[in-house]
Every structure is written in structure tokens, then in C-alpha cells.
Structure 1
């Protein structure tokens, strides 16, 4: 049966070889034969530029390119960790970069896909930070710095982010239902797929008096997480790494 796969929040890093091994296994066992693979952000734990000579990046690019060459197109939406990932790496990996919010039509159904961080509107501090780091001039300035300085800045930002999140309630870091309904109504869809919150679940509700659903991918901390969409249904699936 035709199937399209979605994943997010893998958070690949050299510090987590088990997650890398699980992801590479997914690309050779689960993904082949799919109609397409969509990666909805935070493929990497941190991204300081396509010119970073990290050997993990080349390993992942090679694996994704092999999947693409086998006939499975791969699409990528930036996350809050890897929003600087650019066309240079995308070409190496054989994947296509998509905008932050994308409508796709699968098996005669329109679906909105995104990373999901823009839906967390109750977290005003994060939204301010997001607007700042997405300024193009600031990104160009950052990418012009030597790699060692970029790495130092990224490490400091990750540390500050962890400290800030420890002081926030779980509800503040989750999506705002009104924001969900607004964006779905704007795009006129009844199904939304996203990641970011690390809270895998299927949420069903009524939108304009019509059944709707929001499916949230899980993070790959202890197990893999994917959404499998077929002509019949959409399944949220957890599997061992």
C-alpha cells in the first residue's frame, strides 16, 4: 500500500551515537519503498553552518542521498535547532528545503506540515528569541564568523536555553490551541502534522464544526517516532532505535 513517512526531532549529534545508528537504520529499513520522507525539523541538535566539517553531517548526507537515489524523495522543514541548514547541505543530501509552513496533498487529502514551534505562542520569551535569530542580516553575520566562534556561541545558547526551559511550565512550552485552529483555518485544512514539543499524540477536535486532527511526532531520545500516512489512515508509530 502507498505510504508517506514523517519524522522530526531526531537531534543528531556526535554525543549520541545510538540515535545516529537508529536513524541510519530507519533510512535503510523503514524508509525504502515509501512515496516520500518528510523531515519536520531538528534533524540535528545544533547547526552552525553548512561549512562545518563535522563528519556526522557527511555521514547523514550520504545516507539521505542514497535514499533519494533509490526513488524516495526527501523533504525538509527547518526546526529551531537547525534553522541555518542551507542549500549546500541539502544538495549533498539530495533533499528539498520547504518553507516553514507547507501544504501537501496526499491521497486526495490536504495536510499542513510544519516544525511546530510557531504554535507555542504562550512562550513569549521563545517567540521573541525566534524572531531575532531569523533575521537574515544576523544569520549572515553569524555565518561569517570563524567556525570555532560559532561553536562557542551555539554552546552558550544551548546552555541558556536549557536553563530557561527549566523555569517554564510544561503548558507554556506546548502549543496554543487557538494558534492551531487559526493556522488550520487559514490554510483550510483538517489535518496538521508537526513536531517540536516532544509530546507524541493524536489530538482530535472540531474545526468550524468539522472533525479535525493534529498529529504530533515524538523526539528520538529513547525510541524512534514516525507518522505513516496511507490512503486509509494516518498512524503515529513508535519503534526501537
Structure 2
């Protein structure tokens, strides 16, 4: 993709809308919608990097209640011709067509490679990548299995959503997240993942979410790992102007 002059690509992650309650997350949602409204003027594309919702499950004919302001703003943006791309996180794994059909937003379940103005990017949410985190990786296999989704779908939505919301907040194994503090390069699984990727293929930028920390780490003189932070504490996002990628705060 060549970015037109004066246009930019934006990246954001980890809004966790609905947490800890719909009422408590409403101001954060309004702030995120204001950000979308601000950037739509010069956005060449927008990448939402997962955990937009604290819980999301698509039944055959039902999706979770709420998030009207966010969904409406995304529909407005895609209807205007600005592409939006969504990468599922560990809290909104269970997407199955709604974003594609209703909003025209492609949904990805694994990291993807892109080239923007001759700069190469590897982009994903970041959960379950790299060494370690074995408990979460086992749990994710269960959650994403056809049997697991089929069994959950038999729960009435009022029951299933309530259970999932409770576990999302209370269970660290399900969330896959440690307390949001920097562990050092040798202990950051995503840093190790990026370094291993560089052994076989170059990328100028590795962009992930999941860690809830705004991070910029030089992997070597030509490659950088960027973690986008979150929209709970930091309100940070990434912006690429065609030459350089920066983390900014809204």
C-alpha cells in the first residue's frame, strides 16, 4: 500500500469496552469515538489490534448488547471509504462474520504482513506468541475449538455473557495478561517472538497490543518492536506517516 501524501495509518489496541461494567467504560468509549472522529480526516487506514471489547461472542443470530457509539462510528468511517482492519484479541476471539457483514471490516485471527511505502510490518494482537505462557495457550485451544464454541453457544446469551464477563475480569489465565509492568527484554515474550522472526525474515516494524504497555524497543538498527498500550490507562496509539512510526497519546 502506498500512503497518499498527507495521509497516515493509525493503530490502536486494548479498549476492553464493557469492563468492568458497561457504565464504567462509557467515558472511555466516548473518548475512543472522539479519537476516531479526529483521525478520520487524514486516515489512509485504521488498524484495530484486538480486545476492543472485554467480551464478544457471536451467536448465530445474537451479538452482545451495547457499544453502539463505537460500532456506529466504525460504520461511518468504512462507509466513507476508509479501510478498517480488525485483529481479534484474547477477549474478542469469537468473531464470526458480524464485522465483515455489517461494517465491511476484515477480521484476522493471526498476525499479518504488510508493506507501506516500502516499510515492512508484522501486525497482530500478540496473545500466545513467543515462548512461555503455556497455561494460556492450552486454554486458548479449548476456547477456539469447534466443540468449545458449540457448547458455549447452547447457553442462553444472558447466562453465557454474564459468565464470560465474570471470568474475563477475575481469571488471569483466561485473560492471558500479567500485571502491566515491563519485565525486561529477556522476559518479554513478544520481544523474544520478534527477535526469532528476524532470524528468518526482516520486518521494519513489529506492532502488537495485548501487554497494555506503550513500548518502543529497538530490536536492531533497522527493526523496532512497538506495543500500542491501551485505552484504559494510557490512551496511546500508533501513527505511521509514510516514513516513521510514532506512539502518541490522545
Alignment partner of 1:52 is 2:66: no
Please, which runs of 5 or more residues in structure 1 have no aligned partner?
A: none
Q: Which residue is 1:158 aligned to?
A: 168
Q: In the comparison of the two structures, how many residue pairs are matched?
A: 235
Show the 5 A alignment for 1:122-161: 122-161=132-171
CA deviation after TM superposition for structure 1 residue 158, in Å: 1.9
Mapped contact 1:117–1:196 kept (Cα < 8 A): yes
Q: Normalising by structure 1, report the TM-score.
A: 0.86
Mapped contact 1:37–1:73 kept (Cα < 8 A): yes
Show the 5 A alignment for 1:3-14: 3-13=8-18, 14=22
Alignment partner of 1:191 is 2:196: no
Mapped contact 1:35–1:73 kept (Cα < 8 A): yes
CA deviation after TM superposition for structure 1 residue 187, in Å: 4.8
Tell me how far apart the structure 2 counterparts of residues 220 and 75 of structure 1 sit (CA, whole Å).
Answer: 18
Q: 1:71 to 1:151 in 2, by over 3 A?
A: same
Alignment partner of 1:101 is 2:106: no
Mapped contact 1:111–1:190 kept (Cα < 8 A): yes
Q: Which residue is 1:75 aligned to?
A: 85
Mapped contact 1:174–1:197 kept (Cα < 8 A): no
Range with bigger deviation, 223-232 or 1-10: 223-232
CA deviation after TM superposition for structure 1 residue 168, in Å: 5.9
Tell me how far apart the structure 1 counterparts of residues 240 and 116 of structure 2 sit (CA, whole Å).
Answer: 8
Alignment partner of 1:31 is 2:45: no
Mapped contact 2:57–2:64 kept (Cα < 8 A): no
Q: 1:115 to 1:151 in 2, by over 3 A?
A: same
CA deviation after TM superposition for structure 1 residue 55, in Å: 2.8
Mapped contact 2:131–2:192 kept (Cα < 8 A): no
CA RMSD of aligned residues (A): 2.6
Counterpart among 207, 225, 229 of residue 214 in structure 1:
225
Q: Normalising by structure 2, report the TM-score.
A: 0.83
Tell me how far apart the structure 1 counterparts of residues 227 and 166 of structure 2 sit (CA, whole Å).
Answer: 29
Task: Map Cα deviations across residues 81-108 of structure 1 (whole Å, 9 max, x no partner).
Answer: 0111221233222311124110111111
Q: Which residue is 1:2 aligned to?
A: 7
Task: Map Cα deviations across residues 57-95 of structure 1 (whole Å, 9 max, x no partner).
Answer: x43222101011122110000000011122123322231
